[in-house]
Amino acid sequence: MLVGRELADAAIGTAHSTLMEPGETFTGIDIRAAFLRPVWSGRLVATARPAHRGRTITHDSCEILRADGEPAAMVTSTVLTLRGEQATGR
């Protein structure tokens, strides 16, 4: 379910981007997926949110649901926020 992991990565990145202040950027440093049910076709819905937000490291979670509403995957990610010189040009 490579598509599911890519979907979760995009959802987590989009959600995390809403937390950024001017002059900040971020990068993912870890992503882990637990696949719960097969998906052969149909629409997937990903919902991402921060599970714990620190000053520099944020742990995010994402649930991917199949079209029938059943969970297909649970994904967690660790995101590093960059500031100042670290964020310049990124």
Q: How confident is the model at residue 2 (pLDDT cuts 50, 70, 90)?
A: low
pLDDT value at position 32? 94
| Residue 33: per-residue pLDDT | 93
Homologous superfamily of the 2-86 domain (CATH): Hotdog Thioesterase (3.10.129.10)
- pLDDT at residue 25 greater than cutoff 80: yes
What are the residue ranges spanned by the domains of the chain? Answer: 2-86
Phi, psi of 64, rounded to the nearest 5 degrees: -110, 125
pLDDT over threshold 80, residue 13: yes
In this predicted model, what pLDDT tens digit does every residue of 31-80 receive, in sequence order?
999 999 998 889 999 999 999 999 899 999 999 999 999 999 999 999 99
